[in-house]
Amino acid sequence: MNQQKPSDPTLKLRGALPLAPAPERCPAPVPERLGHFIGGEVVPGRDESLFTSYEPATGEPLCQVAAADAEEVDRAVTAARSAFDRVWGGMPGAERGKYLYRIARRIQERSRELAVLESRDNGKPIRETRDVDLPLVAAHFFYYAGWADKLDYAIPGQRVRPVGVAGQIIPWNFPLLMAAWKLAPALATGNTVVLKPAETTPLTAMMLAEILAEAELPPGVVNIVNGAGATGAALVDHPGVDKIAFTGSTEVGRIITRATAGSGKRLTMELGGKGANIVFADAALDQAVEGVIDGIFFNQGQVCCAGSRLLIEEGIAAAFLDRLKRRIETLRIGDPLDKNTDVGALNSVEQLQRVQRYIEIGRRQGAAVWQGSACPTPEQGYFVAPTLLTGVQQTDTVVREEIFGPVLSVLTFRTPDEAIRKANDTEYGLAASVWTEKASKLFEVAHALNSGVVWANGANLFDPASPFGGMRHSGFGREGGIAGLWPYLEIQ
Ligand code: NAP
Ligand code: MG
């Protein structure tokens, strides 16, 4: 054995150069109180509207948040209108693009802080926020920055112009990424925005407000109003809003669709899902196991496009489940800020109870409930162990309804036709995965699925250049790619 001598230069180097701090050690102070961002100013909001936001991993209070009422929403919309008329709507695209590039770079520079805040606020592991959410957030701004001066080529032969003031309402599962998906295309196309974050995850949006100010984005181009459903409803109802972009539950999507009917407001809806993961016998099975786990457990299943239904070809079902269980036993559940954590906390106590309720419903309807036992689930905080429901029927509640938790319903099939029929037997149509090494089967099945997105031998893969969105009760309109520009453009 070669022993390293004390004079070995790499040893000296190691002693002399401290490693960069791990992101979870990065100081990311949580403000005691969050207000709103209106007309380029951070405003405290009304004292009487304050509510508490909790840290999912501990259940302890994290900060106080003000809720905007209709009057504050009106101030935000007025600021957005004025910024649209005065500066942003008429600014040359190349100039707007510079702001977006600046925002993208600043997000990269502050990505560690943002990742820590996101993990504390949402409950998802730092590995996810640091390695998935934040890079995608920056990538979205970079991507749409590139479109700002090329809009005349977005729809060949047509002149385009911005729609006006966009009201954007987002959920808690990807707080900053959903903000980026909404803001980047809206700003690139010359619209101004009033954004409403989810009531349980306001932190990173308000830090983004700081970044927008650092980038010297003209006041009023982006306004952020915090609050719960009533704040969202006030934004939807405001007559000064030209377009509503919503991501959230199908239920609230329906309410907004009804509320805006006849108003002339444009709508895009990204709603719920009940994604199928179809695994054929000829798939690369270990790869498929990883994909299934990524699709439903790495985000505690709090992903609209989660592969929450597993369809396995009958001949390999037992063996595949064995492998899956063995892999689940190796997952670490716990502190989202520990970089070894695979499964973090659910976002809120309501979400925790909802997921537990669904597991109970599954049990009552005859499902066998299996939860890995190798890693103990923390007692404090909103944790649910990765759960498999086997012995379920196509008609069971847990197979039909979106659970939005780390709960996987397992079904089997014998032929590609049966797989397609079962996968399509849902009111949703957001995302699906197909696992097979046979390309002809892959294409045949992928094209037959009623799903806005189909991943081939993969799961939960995103790219800003690739459109994302649903069919049927999963919504309408696309975000990402060139298609993501259209909802924000008027064609002349
Ligand atoms: P949610 O309850 O529908 O809330 C989404 C947003 O709408 C939140 O900001 C919410 O405020 C606000 N809101 C609630 N009631 C409103 C109303 N009457 N008018 C206007 N706004 C209102 O959904 P969630 O529970 O936060 O998120 C989970 C759901 O989102 C899941 O069903 C998931 O599938 C879906 N989702 C879909 C996509 C996609 O791209 N298709 C992406 C992510 C999530 P509060 O925070 O106060 O409730
Ligand atoms: Mg919170």
Q: Is 369 left (phi over 0), alpha (psi -120 to 50) or beta?
A: beta
What is the SS3 assignment for 36?
A: strand
- Domain 33-271+471-491 grouped into CATH 3.40.605.10: yes
Give 14's contacts (C-beta < 8 A, 6+ positions apart).
none
List pLDDT tens digits, range 81-113. Answer: 999 999 999 999 999 999 999 999 999 999 999
Question: With pLDDT > 90 as the criterion, what percentage of the chain qualifies?
Answer: 90
270 noted as active-site residue: yes
List pLDDT tens digits, range 274-286. Answer: 999 999 999 999 9
Whose structure tokens read 């995608």?
136
Rounded mean pLDDT of the chain?
A: 94
Kindly tell me if the per-residue pLDDT of 25 is higher than 80.
Answer: no
CA-closest residue to ligand 1 atom 35: 248
CA distance linking residue 136 with residue 479, whole number of Å:
13
- pLDDT on residue 15: 44
Closest CA to 260 of 283, 281, 241, 286: 241
List pLDDT tens digits, range 108-132. Answer: 999 999 999 999 999 999 999 999 9
Closest CA to 129 of 337, 345, 352: 337
Indicate if ligand 1 lies below 6 Å from the C-beta of 272: yes
- pLDDT on residue 270: 96
Indicate if ligand 1 lies below 6 Å from the C-beta of 203: no
Q: Which of 3.20.20.10, 2.40.50.140, 3.40.309.10, 3.50.50.60 would CATH assign to domain 276-456?
A: 3.40.309.10
Give 481's contacts (C-beta < 8 A, 6+ positions apart).
464, 465, 466, 467
Atom in ligand 1 nearest the alpha carbon of residue 470: 41
**How many Å lie between the centroid of ligand 1 and the Cα of residue 301?**
15
Write out the DSSP string of 242-272: -EEEEES-HHHHHHHHHHHTTS--EEEEE--
CA distance linking residue 107 with residue 137, whole number of Å:
8
Give 153's contacts (C-beta < 8 A, 6+ positions apart).
none
Domain boundaries, the chain: 33-271+471-491, 276-456
- pLDDT on residue 373: 80
63 noted as active-site residue: no
Kindly tell me if the per-residue pLDDT of 446 is higher than 80.
Answer: yes
- pLDDT on residue 3: 43
Kindly tell me if the per-residue pLDDT of 16 is higher than 50.
Answer: no
List pLDDT tens digits, range 239-273. Answer: 999 999 999 999 999 999 999 999 999 999 999 99
Kindly tell me if the per-residue pLDDT of 5 is higher than 90.
Answer: no
CA-closest residue to ligand 1 atom 19: 233
Query: Which letter does DSSP use for residue 151 in this model?
Result: G
Q: Which of 270, 313, 402, 479 is catalytic?
A: 270
302-321 average pLDDT score:
96
Closest CA to 336 of 129, 134, 54, 177: 129
Q: What is the pTM of this model?
A: 0.94
Contact 170, 226 (CB under 8 A): no
Kindly tell me if the per-residue pLDDT of 13 is higher than 60.
Answer: no
Residue 224: Cβ-neighbour burial (10 angstroms; 0-12, 13-18, 19+) = buried
